[in-house]
A = this chain, B = another copy of it.
Amino acid sequence: MADTEPGHMSAEEFRAHGHTLIDWIADLLHDVEQRPIQAPVEPGEVRAKIPPTIPEHGEPFEALLTDLDDIVMPGITTWQHPGWFAYFPTGAAPPSVLAELVSAALGSQGMLWSTGPAVTEVETAMMDWLVDLLGLPSTWRMDTGPGGGVLQMSASDSTHTALVVARHLATRDGGSTDDVVAYVSSQAHSSIEKGAAVAGYRHLRLIDVDDTFAMRPSALADAIADDVAEGLVPTFVCSAVGTTATTAVDPVRAIGELARTHGLWHHVDAAYAGAAMVCPEFRHHQDGLDLVDSYTFNPHKWLLVNFDCSAFFVADRRPLLDTLSILPPYLRNAATESGLVVDYRDWHVPLGRRFRALKLWWVLRSYGRTGLQIHIRRHVAWAHELEERVRAHDRLALVAPTPFALVCFRHVDGDAATRQVAAAINARGDMLVTPSEIDGAAFVRVSVGATPTERRHVEALWRVIDAAA
């Protein structure tokens, strides 16, 4: 019956259409540099080409492919363009894309160990690999320590989870949720502010930064003291290792010591910069991880894995499981009751989960430790070359250090001139930067790290900057 059901695609039809799409993607990989980097559409233009309701009868697959070219592609902003220097990169290395295909085809659910043993155990193995690969504390390995890791969708989800666990610990003995306080630097990512609001924190303190845009521990200490004096409950502090605006690095150890002294949950947001930790020479930026309760890092940014793939680690998994474990009858099973398995459903808000660890495994094995280090070091080297050129240019000025591969600069003539430089770059269609501002002043934000970017693309960018400046 299934093979004659309207709309049903047989295995042989899948084979034919699948081969067509693999060729379509391979051609895209070849030609991606020729695509416009920003989608050349106006608001509503894509939508206007889609009928208002579902068709009455199924359509042949060829119609979907036609519309992929005619409707979808003009509306795609080309994040995988080698001239992508905007935001942070989002990974899409080919082994990752192929793993996502396999994961979708398997359609296996990893909510419990028993519903997907390989989904669970490959994930646990990969999280342990990351502990070693990034130089995290070995007690965060599931196979040896009290800690452990899990994949979540995004750093926003990971950070929100950490905020919830911290709130749970601070209120479980009767304290009021109204009194919990979270602390982040004034440069922290909006996900912390949003996550705190979502988790019910009414008090969020944005802590002052120094001239490298790193949190000032003395300002944090003062804020904690003020809140204690007010009768509030300091609960959560986030150290950023690589802020979004400028990749500034907060002093993890000093913040960790304050957190320990005052009983706060200490979370590290290394969403972007965690990837750099595959190279030992960057790990001094995360010194103090022995004083950290949770850590988030996105392989889907600069470590070549396609979105979504955010790694979340806890130094001790018990508070996390205490906060999130609920076991209804229909999820009971012998494996769970044996205590021998991990049920990742208890590690985050969602219940269902797909096989995301496969793409992490395939990327890590395709590159190996050495290949990943070369990948990171090239981007950092090219960013430093760009930084040196900016430093040497008499019309440009750096606005922040470049600890990783993000270069932030402005035009010495001020905001209008700075915005003109960004506009000149972005008007070309073959490269994209993010115009931003900090402390009320405009700057140009250049993130080197897209999967297909080569040195020549960074050099081409410099020629445009130089000409526009």
Q: Which residues of B contact A155 (CB under 8 A)?
A: 351
Residues B329 and A438 in contact, CB atoms below 8 Å apart: yes
Residues B245 and A329 in contact, CB atoms below 8 Å apart: yes
Number of copies: 2
Say yes or no: is A199 at the interface (Cβ < 8 Å to chain B). yes
Contact with B along A82-112 (1 / 0, CB 8 A): 1000010011111111101110111111000
| Complex Cα spacing A455 to B352, Å | 27
Residues B17 and A98 in contact, CB atoms below 8 Å apart: yes
Residues A154 and B351 in contact, CB atoms below 8 Å apart: yes
Q: Which residues of B contact A352 (CB under 8 A)?
A: 90, 153-154, 156, 300, 307-308
Instruction: Tell me the A6-51 residues at the B interface (CB within 8 Å).
Output: 6-15, 17-19, 21-30, 38-39, 41, 43-47, 50
Contact with B along A447-463 (1 / 0, CB 8 A): 00001111110000000
Q: Which residues of B contact A28 (CB under 8 A)?
A: 105
CB distance from A11 to the nearest CB of B (A): 4
| Complex Cα spacing A1 to B157, Å | 35
Q: Which residues of B contact A358 (CB under 8 A)?
A: 72
Q: What are 17 A-B contacts defined by CB distance under 8 Å?
A: A9-B93, A21-B98, A43-B117, A43-B340, A50-B121, A52-B132, A58-B370, A64-B365, A76-B108, A79-B106, A92-B106, A155-B351, A156-B349, A190-B331, A197-B323, A330-B445, A349-B349
Q: Which residues of B contact A57 (CB under 8 A)?
A: 368-371
Stretch at the interface among A123-131, A212-220, A234-242, A256-264: A123-131
Given A92-B107, A190-B331, are A11 and B39 neighbors across the interface (CB < 8 Å)?
no
Q: Which residues of B contact A251 (CB under 8 A)?
A: none
CB distance from A106 to the nearest CB of B (A): 6
Q: Which residues of B contact A124 (CB under 8 A)?
A: 47
| Complex Cα spacing A428 to B37, Å | 54
| Complex Cα spacing A21 to B8, Å | 21
20 further interface pairs, Cβ-Cβ under 8 Å (given A2-B82, A64-B95, A90-B352):
A2-B451, A7-B375, A14-B22, A15-B23, A18-B101, A43-B113, A47-B122, A50-B361, A54-B368, A58-B371, A63-B365, A64-B362, A75-B116, A77-B108, A90-B107, A97-B101, A154-B350, A177-B200, A197-B326, A307-B354
| Complex Cα spacing A349 to B157, Å | 7
CB distance from A74 to the nearest CB of B (A): 7
| Complex Cα spacing A44 to B118, Å | 9
Nearest opposing residue in chain B for A165, CB measure: B198
